[in-house]
Structure 1
Amino acid sequence: MIRRLLAALPLVATLGALLWALQANPLAAPFVERSAGDLALTLEQQVHRAATADWIEAALTQAVAARDADRATMLIGLAQDLGRDVDTTAATAMIAAETDTLSVAVDCAVCMADTSACSSLSHLTFCAVPFEMTVLGDLNALRRAAFAFAVGQEVDEVDAGLALVGLGATGAVLVSGGSSVTVKAGATLLRLARRIGSITPELTRFIRVPIRWARVDDFVLGTARIEDVTDGAALARMGALAADLGRVRAATSTAEALRLARFVDTPADATRLARVAEAAGPRTTRTFAVLGKSRVFRATLRVSRAATGTLILIWLTAAQIAVILGTRIGSLAVRSVMRAI
């Protein structure tokens, strides 16, 4: 009897530990967010494995064919950082041609007049962003929308809504002493990203807010509040999204944030992107280019220690039960054979 109790003691101890672990229900939410340091290390390891010399050469060929100097520059830097032996002759020549001083000057004049005509993100950042980041950029967007409404043309409500967020954040900056700068920057980034086609249709539906056009002029003149022009709750949701995009810009750059905006379909995506950007910093764009959105966002989570421990206890319990049952069945089989003999 004592021998049987001693044999069952490991199983009893494991079952007790398992029941104690299950009280916290760790398997209900088995995944937790990685720390910034852990996330940066995990992403860099995955990029190092995925970005082979062949992959970089193929990506460079595509960038040269598309005359995408920004992407080609990023890929050349990636090859140098990882020590990949890649032929960059064609890419370097293309970059030199695209960044010719005269060409940049002509493109800049066109870009300032119409951001949708900017030839590259670098040109957009250099030429249009300084103006668009000011209150004048937001007022100009509202002016375009009000004029379109007055003459019966189609109104770009998304552009106007983002301008309202920017103006609201500008006013909040004056009151808060600067804490709303991130929201202002994010709203402008969203507006510019949409005009260059870097915003997904899913996100476009989310950032559309209702606007009372009859009160827009009063708001611009300062005789109406922003709540009189649009829905406050919708504006707050857009403000939170803009804040996340502002975090991305602060961790990377304006050009990179504009390129990364296409990976955002929902507000949750914007929050994840901000976490990745704050962990990876200037390497965020190349991380997405190599791994893709799904792999990058999956890397932000890991199985919690509590869930891992619980799964191990479940496995140990099952293994011990299997050993006990196997021993009993084996003993019964041996006895049956002995009796038959």
Structure 2
Amino acid sequence: MILRLLRVLPLIVTVTATVWALSTNPLARPFVDRTANDLRIALERKVSRAATSDWIEGALADAVTTRDVDRARMLMDLSADLKRPVDTRSAEAMIDARSGWITMAADCAACMADVSTCPTLTQVAACAVPFEMSPLGDLNALRRAGVAWVGDRPVDELDAGLALVGLAATGAIVVSGGSSVTIKAGTGLLRLARRMGSVTPDLARMLRLPVRWSRVDEVMTGVARLEDAIDAPALARIQSLAGDLGRVATATSPAEALRLARFVDTPEDAAKLARVAEAAGPRTTRSFAVLGKTRVFRATVRLGRMAAGTLLLIWLTAAQIAVIIGTRLSGIVLRGLLRPVIVAPTRWTEPPAQGNAESH
């Protein structure tokens, strides 16, 4: 009896531990967020594995073909950091051709007039961002909306609503609750990203921001609150999204945040992007370029220790049960194969008498 208990004792211990672990319900949320340091290390490790010399050469050739100066520079820096042997002569020639002061002056003038024509992030930062992300840019957006409204033309309510939120965040409009630098930066980035075509269709549908134009004057003069001119739930959603994009701009740069905005389809994506940017910093753009959105966002979480331990206990329990069942079955089979053959005893018959045989 004691020997049998000792044989099943490991199984009893494992089952008990498994039941206790399952009682804490660790599989309800098996994945947990990585810390910033863990996320940075994980991304660098994945980028190092994926960015081979062949991959960088192919991507660099595409950048030269499309005359994408920013991508070409990023790939050249990546090859240097990873010590990948890559021929960069064609990329350097393309960058030099796009870096002449006459070309840059003409591009900057066009960039100021239409941000979607900015050929490089450097020019976005130098030519478009300073004005568009200032209160003057917000006031200009409201001016465009007002002219359209007076002229009975379609009004870009999202552009105007973002401008109102931006002005409120910088203190140009008195709003209860104070102001936020990151929200101001985020609203400016959203307006610029939308004009550059970096806002995805999914995000654009979510960014509806109805404006009650009859209350705008009262809001501007401080008589009414911002919530009186803009739908409150939509305002809260925009402020949260703008705050996350503001964090991205702080961790990278406003120009890079504009390009990264195309990876945002939902508010959850914006929050993940902010976490990645705060962990990877200036290397955020290259992480997305090499790995893509799905792999980068997947790296933000890992399997929790409790969930991993519970899965291991479940596996151990199943393995021990399988071993016990296998041992019993093999014993039955072996006994059947090794069972001795029982031969039935034969009846003894006496030989005929000698005398009777001779008489015949």
- Indicate conservation of the 8 Å contact 1:161/1:208, yes or no: no
Alignment correspondent of 2:168: 168
Distance 2:174 2:107 in 1: 34
Alignment correspondent of 1:34: 34
Pairing 1:48–2:65 present: no
Alignment correspondent of 1:92: 92
Alignment RMSD: 1.9
State the AA in 1 paired with 2:18: L
Pairing 1:118–2:118 present: yes
Summarize deviations over 1:67-118 as a string: whole Å, max 9, x none.
Answer: 1111111111001001011111111111112121122122222222332332
* Gap change, CA 1:95 and 1:238, over 3 Å in 2: same
Summarize deviations over 1:270-317 as a string: whole Å, max 9, x none.
Answer: 000000011111000000000000000011111111111111111111
Q: CA deviation at 1:178?
A: 8.6
Aligned residue for 1:302, secondary structure, equals strand
State the AA in 2 paired with 1:110: A
- Indicate conservation of the 8 Å contact 2:174/2:222, yes or no: no
* Gap change, CA 1:141 and 1:53, over 3 Å in 2: same
Distance 1:78 1:12 in 2: 54
Q: CA deviation at 1:172?
A: 8.5
TM-score between both structures, scaled by the size of structure 2: 0.90
TM-score between both structures, scaled by the size of structure 1: 0.95
* Gap change, CA 1:203 and 1:146, over 3 Å in 2: same
State the AA in 2 paired with 1:183: I
Higher helix proportion, which one?
1
* Gap change, CA 1:181 and 1:97, over 3 Å in 2: same
Aligned residue for 1:32, secondary structure, equals strand
State the AA in 2 paired with 1:249: A
- Indicate conservation of the 8 Å contact 1:252/1:282, yes or no: yes
- Indicate conservation of the 8 Å contact 2:168/2:174, yes or no: no
Alignment correspondent of 2:347: none
- Indicate conservation of the 8 Å contact 2:158/2:207, yes or no: yes
- Indicate conservation of the 8 Å contact 1:172/1:180, yes or no: no
- Indicate conservation of the 8 Å contact 2:112/2:127, yes or no: yes
State the AA in 1 paired with 2:53: A
Q: CA deviation at 1:221?
A: 4.3
Matching of residues 197-236 of structure 1 within 5 Å: 197-236=197-236
Aligned residue for 2:32, secondary structure, equals strand
* Gap change, CA 1:33 and 1:173, over 3 Å in 2: farther
Alignment correspondent of 1:79: 79
Q: Return 310-319 or 222-231, whichever deviates more.
A: 222-231
- Indicate conservation of the 8 Å contact 2:115/2:128, yes or no: yes
Tell me how many residue pairs correspond in the alignment. Answer: 341
Distance 2:336 2:161 in 1: 83
Distance 1:174 1:210 in 2: 20
Distance 2:299 2:224 in 1: 46
Distance 1:74 1:53 in 2: 14
Q: Percent identity?
A: 64
Distance 2:68 2:237 in 1: 34
State the AA in 1 paired with 2:214: A
